[in-house]
Amino acid sequence: MINITFPDGKTEQFESPVDGSAVASSISEGFARNCVAMEVNSALVDMSAQIREDAKIRFITTGDSEGLDVLRHTAAHVMAQAVLRLYPDAQPTIGPVVADGFYYDFDMEPVSEEDFAKIEAEMKKIVKEKLPIVREEVSKERALEFYRDQPYKRELIEELEDGTISFYTQGGFTDLCRGPHLPHTGFVRAFKLLRVSGAYWRGDSNRPQLQRIYGTAFFDKKELKKYLDFLEEARKRDHRKLGAALDLFSFHDEAPGMAFFHPRGMDLWNALLDYWRKEHRAAGYVETKTPIILHRSLWEQSGHWENYRENMYTVLIDETESAIKPMNCPGGMLLFKRRRHSYRDLPIRAAEIGLVHRHELSGVLSGLFRVRAFHQDDAHIFMTPDMIESEILGILQLVRRMYSTFGLGFHLELSTRPEKSIGTDEQWENATGGLTGALEAYGADYLINEGDGAFYGPKIDIHIKDAIGRTWQCGTIQLDMSLPERFDLSYVGKDNEKHRPVMIHRVVYGSIERFLGILVEHFAGRFPLWLAPVQAVILPINDSLVPFAEEINARFFNAGLRTCVDDRTESLNKKVREAQLDKVPLILTVGEKERSAGTLAVRTLDGAVRHGVAIDTFINAVCDNVAARSLGMENLMSL
RNA sequence: GCCAGCGUAGCUCAGUUGGCAGAGCUACUGAUUUGUAAUCAGUUGGCCGGGGGUUCGAGUCCCUCCGCUGGCUCCA
């Protein structure tokens, strides 16, 4: 007899050996049907695994996140089986679970999305067949023999220890796999193939390119639909589509990966930077600006020529080689060095909206998210070592204040010393200690990415979460122990001796282009008033009311607001429709009633109209809303 | 850069087995003077992404270049 302990602490006795299904059935048959795997002494295994001695067991059901991973892994196998039925010459390689689904890589003829219907139909058959999924432990020798004609699988097996190798078989399909898997294929009811792509074997561009087929799966068709709806919502918010529709920016073949900003896009840009400058001045920053073309010698001194050359654009001027800056720091170094500094000057917080160019691979360019030219809201902070903690804390507080203005949540990740790095143990301890000290003082939870820091110092990355739950890394705080050395930076201490300052690079928006794109998607183009390129459009009901509309427009203009009059001789319906499509937050109609009463009819994007709003009161309220950089328009709704 | 898909009017798209380039919106002109999501009529608008080839004939087939889209980190 063996004792099995459940998560609630209860213990049951069973005849040894017993498998998971039998144990689950002893609780209830209904429960057992929802069990997809189990955790035995903290190892995830199949329901069919035999238990031979006392153990702690936790069942994984269709409701657990581990269960979803198991399902998706099995879905990958079902897809592989379907692909092999349809393309007998395809060689399966690997098929892992990823964040929102799964993929499987095959060495096979190219497939396209048009083939999905066929593959999905075959998958449905396999699901309907409810094939039992059977695990088998095999020797390395047998595994290699089984895959004698499949070099990819053989390569994987070669790297495994004998005695730890397992196969999973469902119907006629057997795959090398660690597992665990669902008891049978019938669980894979709600799935969808999403896209195909080329992917290099083991991510190495020198090795063969495989066909990667992505899909996703859920236990429940409703969950699948929810996910597909989310993809659709993201598609609707696509900043490239909205950017064109709202006339914010465009791209042209003559400058791939470099955005052209339109007047409305610049209104948005300037609103973002006005706010940025206000916060940075308040936080004790000074603003600087450095050239974008600098001599090769500077890049050699900074180390970029050696380490970042392939991403840099170069240019020959008067027979001197120069590079267009991919980063602002070397220029910032020159500014720091232009005179001697006392410890009394520190910290120096030198910000720069720096235009940088980076030669990204043509295939990775994507709207404003991945470009070849962009502006960083950079800053270099020079300080004494004992200021690290308070300076980092200051940045974290600045970041929190600024992101919350946009209604963006965020989380922090600390990256520590990588294997290849410069600097002494003591320097790293001091630097990393400063960062963790600041994080503790800041008081929020953070993740640690061990060994993920830059070679020149540890960093904190700030990941924001947008309105539909996607995360983006924007802000970063990087401590740099390399550049102060390379540029021999110093300040004079209390002791009248030269000392090496500590330097950090940091950004809040990151790339202003990219941040703007994220905001377009976050707000779905419906910007809060303070950001909206056109804050209000005034619609005269007929031509005779145009002068009155112009008069009101002038009052908005004098109050510092961005408004315009739609004086075309079009129907009111059409003007309203177009203003709605332009996502202008306030649509103000004026007719005879408004002229005689000195009021406005205020329509908001939800379609609601409030009549008889007094003009002066309204303008004041709009100004208040903009000055407060409110996310909503509550103060206007109560007028 | 590599793989796959795509590129037709300013925008959204149609265009059959290769046989005279189309629609709606936009813009422009005229009429209409409009009370909260498209008033009506007319007129413009095209090197079918660029170049080369096959063919009596190419938007359509082939080659090549450019650009765009999805991927190329997640490890049996």
User: pLDDT tier at A411 (50, 70, 90 boundaries)?
Assistant: very high
- Judged by C1' against the alpha carbon of A369, the nearest nucleotide is B69
Q: How far is the CA of A363 from the C1' of B53 (A)?
A: 28
User: pLDDT tier at A637 (50, 70, 90 boundaries)?
Assistant: confident
Q: Is the per-residue pLDDT at A26 higher than 90?
A: no
Residue A414: enclosing H or E segment and its boundaries? strand A409-415
Q: Is the per-residue pLDDT at A322 higher than 90?
A: yes
> Looking at domain A536-637, which of 3.20.20.140, 3.40.228.10, 3.40.50.920, 3.40.50.800 is its CATH number?
3.40.50.800
Give A544-553 pLDDT, tens digit per residue.
999 999 999 9
Examine the residue annotation and report whether A376 is marked as an active-site residue of this protein: yes
* CATH superfamily of the A71-228 domain: Threonyl-trna Synthetase; Chain A, domain 2 (3.30.980.10)
pLDDT value for A298: 96
Least confident of A20-24, A165-169, A326-330: A20-24
User: Going by DSSP bridges, is the β-strand pair A348-357/A286-288 parallel, antiparallel, or unpaired?
Assistant: parallel
Query: Which positions 70-109 on chain A have a beta carbon less than 7 angstroms from any atom of strand B?
Result: 94-99
Is A174's CB less than 7 Å from nucleic acid strand B?
no
> Looking at domain A249-290+325-522, which of 3.30.930.10, 3.30.43.10, 1.10.220.70, 3.40.50.1700 is its CATH number?
3.30.930.10
How confident is the model over A209-213, as a mean pLDDT?
Answer: 92
Question: How far is residue A482's CA from residue A528's CA, in Å, rounded to a whole number?
Answer: 42
User: pLDDT tier at A109 (50, 70, 90 boundaries)?
Assistant: confident
Is A255's CB less than 7 Å from nucleic acid strand B?
no
pLDDT value for A454: 87
Is A180's CB less than 7 Å from nucleic acid strand B?
no
Is A209's CB less than 7 Å from nucleic acid strand B?
yes
Give A142-162 pLDDT, tens digit per residue.
999 999 989 999 999 999 888
Examine the residue annotation and report whether A329 is marked as an active-site residue of this protein: yes
Q: Is the per-residue pLDDT at A16 higher than 90?
A: no
Burial A117-147 (b: 16+ CB within 10 A, else e): eebbebbeebbeeebebebeebeeeebbebb
Kindly compute the dihedral angle of the four CA atoms of residues A470, A370, A514, A508, in this order, to the nearest 10 degrees: 90
Nucleotide B74: closest residue by CA–C1':
A98
pLDDT value for A444: 87
Least confident of A25-29, A539-543, A554-558: A25-29
Is A110's CB less than 7 Å from nucleic acid strand B?
yes
Percentage of chain A modeled with pLDDT above 70: 100
Residue A103: enclosing H or E segment and its boundaries? strand A101-107
Question: How far is residue A354's CA from residue A329's CA, in Å, rounded to a whole number?
Answer: 10
Give A500-512 pLDDT, tens digit per residue.
999 999 999 999 9
- Judged by C1' against the alpha carbon of A166, the nearest nucleotide is B76
Kindly compute the dihedral angle of the four CA atoms of residues A72, A76, A79, A81, in this order, to the nearest 10 degrees: -130
Question: Measuring CA to CA, which residue among A366, A360, A297, A350 is closest to residue A326?
Answer: A360
How confident is the model over A303-311, as a mean pLDDT?
Answer: 90
Is A365's CB less than 7 Å from nucleic acid strand B?
yes
Q: Is the per-residue pLDDT at A28 higher than 90?
A: no
Question: How far is residue A110's CA from residue A195's CA, in Å, rounded to a whole number?
Answer: 13
How confident is the model over A49-54, as a mean pLDDT?
Answer: 88
Examine the residue annotation and report whether A459 is marked as an active-site residue of this protein: yes
Q: Is the per-residue pLDDT at A420 higher than 90?
A: no
User: pLDDT tier at A358 (50, 70, 90 boundaries)?
Assistant: very high
Examine the residue annotation and report whether A189 is marked as an active-site residue of this protein: no
pLDDT value for A125: 94
How confident is the model over A160-172, as a mean pLDDT?
Answer: 91
Q: How far is the CA of A245 from the C1' of B23 (A)?
A: 21
pLDDT value for A180: 92
Q: Identify residue A580 by its one-letter amino acid code.
A: Q
How confident is the model over A510-525, as a mean pLDDT?
Answer: 96
Mean pLDDT of chain A: 93
Q: A349: exposed, middle or buried (C-beta count within 10 Å: 0-12, 13-18, 19+)?
A: buried
CA A309 to chain centre: 27
- Which residues share a beta bridge with A610? A602
Q: Is the per-residue pLDDT at A423 higher than 90?
A: no
Q: Is the per-residue pLDDT at A111 higher than 90?
A: no
Examine the residue annotation and report whether A378 is marked as an active-site residue of this protein: yes
Kindly compute the dihedral angle of the four CA atoms of residues A574, A580, A582, A587, in this order, to the nearest 10 degrees: 90
Q: Output the six-digit token pair for A523.
A: 């707000």
In chain A, domain spans: 2-61, 71-228, 249-290+325-522, 536-637
Give A359-403 pLDDT, tens digit per residue.
999 889 999 999 999 999 999 999 999 999 999 999 999 999 999
Q: Does domain A2-61 have CATH number 3.10.20.30?
A: yes
Q: Is the per-residue pLDDT at A422 higher than 90?
A: no
**ipTM of predicted complex:** 0.93
Positions of chain B reached by protein Cβ under 7 A: 1-5, 11-12, 31-39, 66-76
Nucleotide B71: closest residue by CA–C1':
A197
How confident is the model over A561-579, as a mean pLDDT?
Answer: 94
How confident is the model over A64-70, as a mean pLDDT?
Answer: 90
Kindly compute the dihedral angle of the four CA atoms of residues A416, A418, A423, A427, in this order, to the nearest 10 degrees: 20
CA A355 to chain centre: 22
Q: Which of A376, A427, A478, A535 is flagged as catalytic?
A: A376
User: pLDDT tier at A355 (50, 70, 90 boundaries)?
Assistant: very high
Q: What are the start-end ranges of the H helices in A423-496?
A: 425-442, 483-486
Q: Is the per-residue pLDDT at A8 higher than 90?
A: no
